Amino acid sequence: MFSRLKIFTGNANVELANEVAKYAGIPLGDAEVFKFSNDNIFVKINENVRGADTFILQPTCYPVNDNLMELLIMIDALKRASARNINCVIPSFGYARSDKKDQPRVPITAKLVADLLTTAGASRVIAMDLHSDQIQGFFNIPVDHLYSAPIFVRYLTANHDLSNAVVVSPDTGGTARARAIAKRLNCSLAIGDKRRLGNDDKAEVLNIIGDVENKTAILYDDIIDTGGSLAKMSKALMDRGAKKVYAACAHGVLSGNAIENLEGSPIEKLYITNSIPLSPEKKKCKKIVQLSIAELLAIAIKKIHIEESLSNLFR
């Protein structure tokens, strides 16, 4: 049944790719992906893929442009090697926050990336926790949008007393996301009202809508980048009487002074997935707990291959 299923990876997150292949019970495909001394990327598929159902696991995380180019070139290599399907598994979608024209004379880069993937020859995209649902509509090929919420729900339920917990969305834009996980955890919901002051990492918390006093607050968002917003929100929650603050974010970008911001905040634990690999320095941070999405991705890949529904993965 799975003899024509092949999983390949670039260099973005080899550890996750190996874990996915292990869960799927399929050896990782043999491919060379490296840079020449002139900075050009080279790809060679070292096994027969003619007529195969191929999956490329490659988050377009830091270094975003290198990882994106690796993915595009791998698509082209598989297309020219006569693969039947080329499915792109992109756990973390780079440029996802450039999803609208919110200022004069700016691009919609997420749409551009969608066009590049489609033009290169991708048959399907499997993404996880996209910054906005509208990105699915940027593609003219099927998009399967997976969510890490069930993984967080399972972990939080098993490791925390949630009898007096509140899920907090850092801003109004993430309300639907936070409401969905609050419902699963049977918790109340609060919403942060913040105003950005120019750069993405500078935000001022104006108010918190909802009751957080004497409660365990769980900040829930799709991305933690520099961590400035979450740090300020966690301090605002403590100022308003929260007993403890935890944070859960699907994608741990953790750029710039994120670790410093996290260490200096009241956040006791930051739960993230392994959609983006952690550097050895970041792994030293005792506040960070990384949860694996490998089993989720492996199940999705096998279901897509045998043309089964993915709906039970959202439960």
What are the pLDDT tens digits along the chain (315 aa)?
777 999 999 999 999 999 999 999 999 999 999 999 999 999 999 999 999 999 999 999 999 999 999 999 999 999 999 999 999 999 999 999 999 998 999 999 999 999 999 999 999 999 999 999 999 999 999 999 999 999 999 999 999 999 999 999 998 889 999 999 999 999 999 999 876 665 555 556 568 999 999 999 999 999 999 999 899 999 999 999 999 999 999 999 999 999 999 999 999 999 999 999 999 999 999 999 999 999 999 999 999 999 999 988 876
Q: Is 194 a catalytic residue?
A: yes
Contact (CB, 8 A) for 24 and 298: yes
- Scanning the structure block, which residue is given the tokens 């004379």? 105
Q: Where are the beta strands (DSSP E) in 119-226?
A: 124-128, 143-146, 165-169, 188-196, 203-209, 216-224
Where along the chain do its domains lie? Answer: 5-147+294-314, 149-291
pLDDT in tens, 73-109: 999 999 999 999 999 999 999 999 999 998 999 999 9
CATH number for the domain running over 5-147+294-314? 3.40.50.2020
Q: Which of 111, 194, 232, 302 is catalytic?
A: 194
What residues contact residue 236 under an 8 Å CB cut-off, 6+ apart?
192, 205, 208
Is CATH 3.40.50.2020 the right assignment for the domain spanning 149-291?
Answer: yes
Give the separation between CA 186 and CA 165, rounded to whole angstroms.
9
Contact 262/285 with Cβ under 8 angstroms? yes
How far is residue 56's CA from residue 298's CA, in Å, rounded to a whole number? 12
Cα–Cα distance measured from residue 299 to residue 69, given in angstroms and rounded to the nearest whole number: 27
What is the three-class DSSP state of 57?
Answer: strand
Contacts of 51 (CB under 8 A, 6+ apart): 4, 82, 83, 84
Q: Are strands 188-196 and 165-169 parallel, antiparallel or unpaired?
A: parallel
* CA 8/CA 30 separation, integer angstroms: 7
How far, in whole angstroms, is CA 212 from its chain's centroid? 27
**Fold match between 5-147+294-314 and 149-291?**
yes
**Cβ–Cβ under 8 Å, residues 210 and 191:** yes
The two tokens of residue 74 are 């791998």
What single DSSP character describes residue 279?
P
Helix, strand or coil, per DSSP, at residue 62 = coil
| pLDDT tens digits along 45-61 | 999 999 999 999 999 99
Question: What pTM does this model have?
Answer: 0.93
Structure tokens at 45: 């598929």
In degrees and rounded to multiples of 5, residue 242 shows phi and psi of: -65, 145
